[in-house]
Amino acid sequence: MHGNVWEWVEDVWHGSYSGDPPEDGTPWIEGGETDSRVVRGGSWVIEPGGCRSTARIWLSSRYRSNLMGFRLARTV
């Protein structure tokens, strides 16, 4: 799925992983820049090296584009 669209995640933006990020897979919503959200994975207009799950950038939570999407996950 990498390279389809950037995927919004619930995490707020932190400039680095220093500090105290959750280690259990829960969103990192404490601290950071609350008006900026993380998007991951690259999109179809990004160079191949940027289309990976560790690729991340920040955007305003009000930003909209046809290069953005989200994935729903459900525990069964």
Residue 30: closest CA among 8, 16, 12, 56 = 12
Work out how many domains the chain is built from and give that number: 1
Is the pTM of the predicted complex or chain greater than 0.85? no
Domain with 29, as residue range(s), is 6-69
Sequential DSSP letters for 23-70: SSS----SSSEEEEEEEES--TTS-GGG-STT-EEEEETT---TTEE-
Over the stretch 35-47, which tens digit does the pLDDT of each residue have?
A: 899 988 888 787 8
Q: Would you place residue 1 in the very low, low, confident or very high pLDDT band (cuts 50, 70, 90)?
A: low
Q: Is residue 1 part of a domain?
A: no
Q: Is residue 74 part of a domain?
A: no
Q: What pLDDT shows up at residue 24?
A: 92
